[in-house]
Amino acid sequence: MSSVFVTGATGLTGSNVCQQLIARGDAVKALVRNPDEAAALTAIGIELVRGDITDADDVMRASKKSDAAIHCAALLGGASQDLDDFRAVNFTGTTNILDAGRAHGMRRVVALSTGTFFDLASPGFREDAPLLDNPPDDPYTVTKLAAFQEVHRRAEAGEDVLTCHPGAIYGPGLVAERALHPTSFNRVLLAAMRGRISTYLDFPVMWVAAADVASGSIAALDKGAPGAMYWLTGQPEDEISTAAGCNQACEMAGVAHRVEDLDHRTAPKEIVDAFGPTLYAIAEAAANEHRPPRTAENPTHDQLGYDPMSLDDGLRLLIPWLRELGRM
């Protein structure tokens, strides 16, 4: 049995990581800002420690006696942006957990990253994709890129750290309000099934179930290579636009409403601006690239045994969960 420290445990990915670690018999400690709002984690046996990922002392204290860490905490892109807030969580928070891992002699730290700063038009495996020459300058991408570079700088210096790069995460989570955060893809899918959105920015989305991101992150902890980059995405055929994913959900839920793709190049500026700078940057980059076709055979699959579920199977988990919550 291992003792694993998890950040972002109340979030969609983090709660799935906690759930799977507990299910296999690990001891799990989680850093949370307000334990009173994380009763669902306590109920499955998670040890909660009050603290903030942006506070180095909190992270150092909370992670004592942990063998390893999975770092899921992040501030996501939205319509309202503040670079300092993003830097505090996404960059400083990452350096805090890396420092704690080194100080406590952890066997490995897995840091969840993103794919918004990679050149996805490059041939070959995504695991080998280079960084964009001119990555988007929205606060989310800027700070996640800085954190990514810090992780891999330390890996080159000999620390056992690596990154995992999820796609568009959806699915059930233990803490419902966090799993349905306003910037989440769960919230987008729910809004579509409730008929509350009719358009969405058009760009390819790498849909992936939260349960798969969790299992892939844990596999990276167990079987990954130091300094590696693992892409935790869904099945290749499920790399479709947000509107197409919403329509797939609507069809499965028996909802007649449909969502249309919105081309940022021709849509009114005020409509595009409502999506915020992160999504706009992704749409703009995607419009100038041609992504080569991918297969399910890749280094992440081969090294970790990663085999994600289809979007249909993931929606079969999400829709009943939303109904049980009374959201549909």
Binned at pLDDT 50, 70 and 90, residue 251 comes out as: very high
Asked whether residue 321 is assigned to any structural domain, the reply reads: no
Domain carrying residue 21 = 3-175+206-237+293-309
On whether the CB atoms of residues 91 and 150 are closer than 8 A, the answer is: yes
From CA 174, how far away is CA 38, in angstroms rounded?
9
Q: Report which of 91, 308, 310 is spatially closest to residue 214, judged by C-alpha positions.
A: 308
On whether the CB atoms of residues 209 and 314 are closer than 8 A, the answer is: yes
Q: Residue 212: is it exposed, middle or buried by C-beta count within 10 angstroms (0-12/13-18/19+)?
A: buried
Of 114-128, 189-203, 221-235, 288-302, minimum mean pLDDT range: 288-302
Asked whether residue 318 is assigned to any structural domain, the reply reads: no
Binned at pLDDT 50, 70 and 90, residue 191 comes out as: very high
Per-residue pLDDT at 77 exceeds 90: no
* Number of folded domains that form the chain: 1
Give the per-residue pLDDT at 89. Answer: 96
Per-residue pLDDT at 65 exceeds 70: yes
Kindly report the CATH number assigned to the domain that includes residue 7.
3.40.50.720
Asked whether residue 272 is assigned to any structural domain, the reply reads: no
User: Is-above-0.75 flag for pTM?
Assistant: yes
Asked whether residue 160 is assigned to any structural domain, the reply reads: yes
Asked whether residue 254 is assigned to any structural domain, the reply reads: no
Asked whether residue 326 is assigned to any structural domain, the reply reads: no
Asked whether residue 243 is assigned to any structural domain, the reply reads: no
Asked whether residue 33 is assigned to any structural domain, the reply reads: yes
Give the per-residue pLDDT at 279. Answer: 79
Per-residue pLDDT at 79 exceeds 60: no
- For residue range 163-174, list pLDDT tens digits in order: 999 999 999 999
Provide the 8-state DSSP code for 5.
E
Span 95-122, average pLDDT: 96
